[in-house]
């Protein structure tokens, strides 16, 4: 269960209360404001506040370039120009705030992006809920032999059953002992009055990395796109990619012109080294090029062929 | 003149158009949204967007501390607690965007605060207006002999007249030659068709540091307070302090509880070294303490006495 | 065991190889470079590189203030002046790099300080060692009833034994199952050839937050002091404070003047609100002040009395 | 004149004093440590400190990837892999500190890169020297009509003479009046004892943007490369590009493997949008493609043809 009925009621209350504002309003994003977008088995993201929209980016660019931007007749073209030429600062003028519920091992990857503001649920102050992530069978990947960082194939049969059993059993065990060590129920009373109860900040260390945590995460649009470029990438771990994909959808609602430009230049774009560009030019000229004719390593070569859709 | 009639009409249009939003609305700040707050002779600040209010800070703190904050019965007390104990991250959950017009030498100090987003009017792309800062007579300070960074007294009589004349005359001269080198009028035509006109990015170097520039400046509340603590301080240069004071007023409208806590703990608070604290304890005990009995340097001693309001 | 014999040999090799450099050398820090400083049961910190020393701070300040600093005759006084007046940028000119081994729950607090560079051991790529943190009996604190974030007293007798047993048993169990799911030995062979083995990036989620991780952590001196002010504080959790205390010692070796100023103004200093300052002035004047005469809350009052060493 | 004889003597003293260190030493960079690299007419850069070298990047990557990197047999290949796949954090483990002398309008562009530490010569505290930038005749570019941000051609004959005369004359005038307003000679005495002298922080506003300032600038290698990618680009203004080019040379001395990878993937690399990539694939397949067959705007099309070296 991702949210309980109390939380649902609170979300509905937030959604039903509209007030007038003089600020820029992003109509598409207002539609989904506060709504839960489920991710993984118990997680979610939801947008809880934002600042700006496509027009705010254009406005900021026009402040920078002054009369110089008068000639760019329309917003969409200007936004594409800015993204193509890495004029990143206008995109920093938009800001978004998410409420996320996510497994701790995902939070540990996520937090590496430093240019954001975070308020995380504190297990020093409060007691964590008994919720942990168990992968669906289709995501129970085996270790790739070729690639340290990769998955390859999916566990099957008995091995899969055994893994699911171990993950679930160990997590339940860990939580049961966490609760026992705390010796504190939800009314903050002691089930065993003769025991003191271990400090929360210590008891939490018994929980495993698939337990869920929560945070508010606030970031500007430029840094959000950088985050998504890395985390919506096929090389990212599936579990964080699931969050990145859900966030991509919120951008589509929020800043449609920027979203489209980002899909073209960011997510869908590729980078070629100077050596790779030389090869591309030779191929366009109709030359037949083999790796031996180039300076590329075997790995670079196969990456380039994959980008160009050439079978090797 | 701070803004022209075109700009005034645009501001009125922005102010008159209210739309519904599901976001948190800060009523006090909506009142003054987009309004010009004049600063110095041609400068201004105005708030053009914001995210969050006092309640957003409280909400973020409650996410962090979970059930642990239930006992703090009211928002005001929680905000004061957060500020007193340097729990700074909840204040990062609010964001504000200003449009500022300011002399270049002020912009040079201001930009040293790195944790902000900026889009500045570009003199590579566009032509700067003929507007420069000339201090009022009462701010025409003389150099302090005691303090490298300080002013002391005010220039008077002939010397003041001469300084005002030089500042004005040199700025007008600089702009006249800037325009001549550009060889470009407001319709982007060449007054002297036989001349090419110097590139804007080069011509600008003839302008002096009192010319006005403009930018959009976006920052979270925590970093804004840090900026204001340094720049609304009596040791800050008067010209940037004038901007900081105007921004303080916008915080009062935006987040009244946070503003009050900031005035008590930030702006109005003092810091004592361990040595100074020892002296304070002895004074409270009724001891008579002279500097020779302490480890403080002459400078530290006089700073402490000033804080304690003790004449020396 | 904190380091094994291979690692010890590597450290000795690093320490024995000195080369000439034209850079500033901090003799005190060279003495302990690369040396393991044990922290907790299996953790450590060690300095593996640095840039600058006290003289680099002075040099940077003199660049800023130019001829204006000529009058400050000596480095120690200038460094104290800079710290007292929050001229923080010269301290950013020094940089230090640590190699740390620390439990994951400590790493989770630590990483919240964003102004640093980090390379952490990746459990996506590699297999974690079977090392986890178990507190000493004297640090097995019970939850404070008064303070959500605090400890109070120490668990004793049977309850302590039970907690230690649970922590150790669950961690050993978690690792055993981690290894089973991986199905990979240290030679990267499969103990059960018929099983695929779960991807490392998934298997790791079974480990608990007391398992050790490692990272390289690089930060400038100014931000390091900010980190230590928060984490060497008595309110910080004991386990991260143990790391902060060890790092404080490295600063003493590196930049002795800055260390002393930091102990006086930073670690040992106190902050008074404007209301608290008024009370201090009244107390110095010999007035008898009770809380009812003031605007302070009960909590603020008791905090102030504690600072002033006045019993209540 | 870029440096005076006092400064030269100081530099020689710094260069001649070598001491032993246990840290990693970058021999190539030690060769040029402290040496002045002249830029523009009076400016310079020089490296005054550094931390790490190519091996430190490799070491940090191996901490991250643990046993997983054992298979990458050599440092050069690993560095290229890291750069190709945007594993940026290992490059943050190296740090460099420059002393730069540069015109204020260049400093204003430069400071927009926020992830760096700066100590700038303060004109609030100290008196600026009478040194300003005057372009060489070959850099006296005219404004491009096609591109707001660009130059096109070079001013010639009388127009060039007039521009050079105006720039020099106005700067000399500005400095003369700056000195008069200060009423302070190099011995800090008042030439006109009956005048108070204007505060330095005010008098400086009379100087124009081509006057030189100085700063210490410290940055990690990753962020330095990002800076250079933008500022060594042909679209950057010539004057800041001159500094970027000089800094590129220092990287070549410091971290030769990283430098080569950066020239291939960063400086020399190109980025293709998803639409551009489709066109490249069609061209490689031997199709004849005209812009009308694509979604690209005229501008994007001509940019792509330029990248591919296809005449249009």
Distance between alpha carbon C5 and the CA centroid of its chain, in Å?
A: 26
Residues, chain C: 312
Q: What is the CATH number assigned to the segment(s) B1-133+211-269?
A: 3.30.1360.170
pLDDT in tens, A38-97: 999 999 999 999 999 999 999 999 876 665 455 455 888 899 999 998 899 999 999 999
Catalytic residue list of B: 231
How wide is the angle at C-alpha A136 spanned by C-alphas A130 and A138, nearest 5°?
165
Residue of A nearest to B16 (CA): A22
Predicted confidence (pLDDT) at residue D53 exceeds the cutoff of 90: yes
CB A269 within 8 A of CB D271: yes
Model pLDDT, residue C312: 78
Residue matched to tokens 């010796």: A183
Chain B residues with CB-CB distance to A67 below 8 A: 125-127
Predicted confidence (pLDDT) at residue B9 exceeds the cutoff of 90: no
Residue of B nearest to A118 (CA): B89
Model pLDDT, residue A144: 73
Rounded alpha-carbon distances, angstroms, from residue C82 to C75, C85, C222, C224, C250:
11, 5, 11, 16, 21
- When pLDDT is cut at 50, 70 and 90, the band that residue B149 belongs to is low
Count Cβ atoms within 10 A of the Cβ of residue B14 and give its class: 0-12 exposed, 13-18 middle, 19 or more buried. middle
Give residue limits of the domains in chain D. 1-129+210-269, 274-308
* Best residue in C78, C112, C261, C270 for a mutation probing chain B (most B CBs within 10 Å): C270
Chain C residues with CB-CB distance to A204 below 8 A: 105, 209
CB atoms within 10 A of CB B202: 27
Give percent above pLDDT 90 in chain A. Answer: 76
Count Cβ atoms within 10 A of the Cβ of residue B29 and give its class: 0-12 exposed, 13-18 middle, 19 or more buried. buried
SS3 call for A51: strand
Average pLDDT over residues D140-168: 84
Q: How far apart are CA D163 and CA D149, in angstroms?
A: 20
* Best residue in A119, A182, A253 for a mutation probing chain B (most B CBs within 10 Å): A119
Answer whether A284 sits within 8 Å of D281, measured CB to CB.
no
Predicted confidence (pLDDT) at residue B225 exceeds the cutoff of 90: yes
User: Which value, to the nearest 10 degrees, does the dihedral of the CA atoms of residues B182, B186, B189, B195 take?
Assistant: -20
* Best residue in D102, D168, D204, D209 for a mutation probing chain B (most B CBs within 10 Å): D209
Q: How far apart are CA C121 and CA C108, in angstroms?
A: 14
Model pLDDT, residue D1: 55
Average pLDDT over residues D194-200: 93
User: Which H helix or E strand runs over B95?
Assistant: strand B95-103
Answer whether C142 sits within 8 Å of A196, measured CB to CB.
yes
pLDDT in tens, A215-240: 999 999 999 999 999 999 988 999 99
The residues on D that touch A, with CB distances below 8 Å, are 65, 68-69, 77, 80-81, 84-86, 89, 112, 148-149, 230, 235, 263-265, 268-275, 277, 280-281, 283-284, 286, 297, 299-300, 303, 307-310
Rg (CA), chain B: 24
Predicted confidence (pLDDT) at residue D72 exceeds the cutoff of 60: no
Alpha helices in chain D (DSSP H): 5-16, 27-32, 54-65, 75-84, 104-110, 157-182, 200-203, 221-231, 238-254, 256-261, 274-284, 298-308
Model pLDDT, residue D99: 96
SS3 call for A216: strand
Q: How far apart are CA B84 and CA C305, in angstroms?
A: 15
Rounded alpha-carbon distances, angstroms, from residue C213 to C9, C42, C101, C131, D279:
21, 10, 6, 9, 47
Chain A residues with CB-CB distance to B218 below 8 A: 92-93, 95, 220
Architecture of domain A1-132+212-269: 2-Layer Sandwich (3.30)
Q: How far apart are CA C21 and CA C26, in angstroms?
A: 12
Give percent above pLDDT 90 in chain B. Answer: 76
Residue matched to tokens 């337990």: A211
Answer whether B99 sits within 8 Å of A63, measured CB to CB.
yes
Count Cβ atoms within 10 A of the Cβ of residue C218 and give its class: 0-12 exposed, 13-18 middle, 19 or more buried. buried
Distance between alpha carbon A158 and the CA centroid of its chain, in Å?
A: 32
pTM for the full predicted model = 0.95
Predicted confidence (pLDDT) at residue B67 exceeds the cutoff of 60: no
Nearest to B93 among A33, A92, A119 (CB): A119
pLDDT in tens, B193-209: 999 999 999 999 999 99
Predicted confidence (pLDDT) at residue D119 exceeds the cutoff of 60: yes
Chain C residues with CB-CB distance to A213 below 8 A: none
Predicted confidence (pLDDT) at residue B70 exceeds the cutoff of 60: no
Catalytic residue list of A: 231
SS3 call for B44: strand
Q: Which CATH number fits domain D1-129+210-269: 3.30.1360.170, 2.60.40.10, 3.90.50.10, 3.40.50.720?
A: 3.30.1360.170
What residues in chain C have per-residue pLDDT under 50?
68, 71
For residue C58, the distance in angstroms to the closest alpha carbon of chain B comes to 17
Question: Is the pLDDT higher at B77 or at D215?
Answer: D215
Rg (CA), chain C: 24
Residue of B nearest to A52 (CA): B49
Mean pLDDT of chain B: 92
pLDDT in tens, D223-261: 999 999 999 998 899 999 999 999 999 999 999 999 999
Q: How far apart are CA A204 and CA B251, in angstroms?
A: 39
Q: How far apart are CA D249 and CA D44, in angstroms?
A: 13
Model pLDDT, residue A270: 93
As for the ipTM of the complex, it is: 0.93
For residue C261, the distance in angstroms to the closest alpha carbon of chain B comes to 9
For residue B122, the distance in angstroms to the closest alpha carbon of chain D comes to 9
Answer whether D208 sits within 8 Å of B103, measured CB to CB.
no
Model pLDDT, residue A109: 96
DSSP code at position D268: T
Alpha helices in A183-255 (DSSP H): 200-203, 221-231, 238-254
Residue of D nearest to C128 (CA): D66
Model pLDDT, residue D8: 86
The residues on A that touch D, with CB distances below 8 Å, are 65, 68-69, 77, 80-81, 84-86, 89, 112, 148-149, 230, 235, 263-265, 268-275, 277, 280-281, 283-284, 286, 297, 299-300, 303, 307-310
Chain D residues with CB-CB distance to B230 below 8 A: none
CB A208 within 8 A of CB A168: no
DSSP code at position C100: E
CB D191 within 8 A of CB D185: yes
| Residues sharing a CB contact under 8 Å with residue B109, sequence separation 6 or more, in sequence order | B231, B237, B240
Subunits in contact with chain C (3 or more CB pairs closer than 8 Å): A, B, D
Model pLDDT, residue D148: 57
Q: How far apart are CA A202 and CA A177, in angstroms?
A: 12
Predicted confidence (pLDDT) at residue A37 exceeds the cutoff of 90: yes
For residue B307, the distance in angstroms to the closest alpha carbon of chain C comes to 9
Model pLDDT, residue D150: 65
Q: How far apart are CA D194 and CA C4, in angstroms?
A: 76
- When pLDDT is cut at 50, 70 and 90, the band that residue A149 belongs to is low
Active-site residue, selected from the candidate residues C22, C231, C282, C291: C231
Residue D231 is a catalytic residue: yes
Q: How far apart are CA A160 and CA C195, in angstroms?
A: 10
Rg (CA), chain D: 24
Count Cβ atoms within 10 A of the Cβ of residue D189 and give its class: 0-12 exposed, 13-18 middle, 19 or more buried. exposed
Plot region of D115 (φ>0 → left; ψ -120 to 50 → alpha; else → beta): beta
Its sign, for the CA torsion A101, A102, A108, A114, is negative
pLDDT in tens, B238-264: 999 999 999 999 999 999 999 999 999
Average pLDDT over residues B147-161: 81
Q: How far apart are CA B194 and CA C117, in angstroms?
A: 56
Question: Is the pLDDT higher at B51 or at A9?
Answer: B51
Task: Count Cβ–Cβ pairs < 8 Å, chain A vs chain B.
Answer: 150
- In sequence order, the β-bridge partners of residue C251 are none
Residues, chain A: 312
CB D61 within 8 A of CB C120: no
- The pairing of beta strand D117-120 with beta strand D212-220: antiparallel
Model pLDDT, residue C143: 79
Nearest to A199 among C142, C182, C198 (CB): C142
Subunits in contact with chain B (3 or more CB pairs closer than 8 Å): A, C, D
Predicted confidence (pLDDT) at residue B276 exceeds the cutoff of 90: yes
Average pLDDT over residues A166-180: 98
pLDDT in tens, D159-195: 999 999 999 999 999 999 999 999 988 777 899 999 9
Q: What is the CATH number assigned to the segment(s) C1-127+212-269?
A: 3.30.1360.170
Nearest to C119 among D22, D60, D118 (CB): D60
Read off φ and ψ for residue D280, nearest 5 degrees: -60, -45
Edge-first strand order for the sheet with A212-220 is A37-39, A43-51, A95-103, A212-220, A117-120
């Amino acid at each position: 269960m991702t949210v309980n009925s109390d939380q649902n009621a609170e979300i509905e209350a937030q959604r039903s209360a509209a007030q007038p504002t003089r600020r820029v309003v992003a109509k598409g994003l207002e539609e989904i404001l506060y709504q839960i977008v489920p991710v993984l088995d118990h997680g979610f993201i939801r947008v809880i506040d934002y600042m700006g929209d496509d027009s705010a980016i254009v406005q900021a660019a026009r402040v920078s370039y002054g009369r110089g931007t008068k000639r760019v007749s329309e917003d969409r073209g200007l936004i594409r120009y800015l993204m193509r030429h890495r004029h990143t600062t206008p995109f920093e003028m938009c800001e978004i705030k998410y409420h996320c519920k996510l497994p701790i091992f995902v939070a540990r990857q996520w937090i590496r992006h430093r240019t954001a503001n975070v308020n995380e649920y504190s297990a020093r102050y409060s007691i964590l809920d008994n919720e942990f992530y168990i992968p669906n069978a289709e995501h129970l990947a085996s270790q790739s032999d070729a690639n340290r960082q990769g998955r390859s194939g999916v566990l099957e049969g008995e091995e899969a059953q055994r893994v699911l059993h171990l993950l679930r059993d160990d997590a339940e065990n860990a939580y049961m002992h966490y609760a026992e060590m705390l010796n504190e129920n939800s009314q903050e009373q002691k089930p065993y009055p003769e025991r003191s109860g271990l400090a929360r900040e210590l008891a939490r260390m018994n929980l495993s990395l698939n337990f869920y945590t929560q945070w508010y995460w606030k970031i500007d649009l430029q840094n959000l796109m950088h985050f998504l470029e890395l985390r919506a990438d096929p090389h990212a771990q599936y579990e964080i990619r699931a969050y990145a994909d859900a966030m991509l959808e919120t951008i589509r609602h929020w800043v449609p012109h920027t979203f489209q430009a980002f899909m073209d230049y960011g997510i869908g774009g590729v980078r070629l080294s100077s050596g790779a560009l030389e090869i591309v030019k030779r191929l366009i000229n109709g030359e037949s090029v083999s790796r031996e004719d180039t300076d590329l390593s075997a790995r670079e070569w196969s990456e380039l062929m994959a980008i160009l859709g050439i079978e090797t």
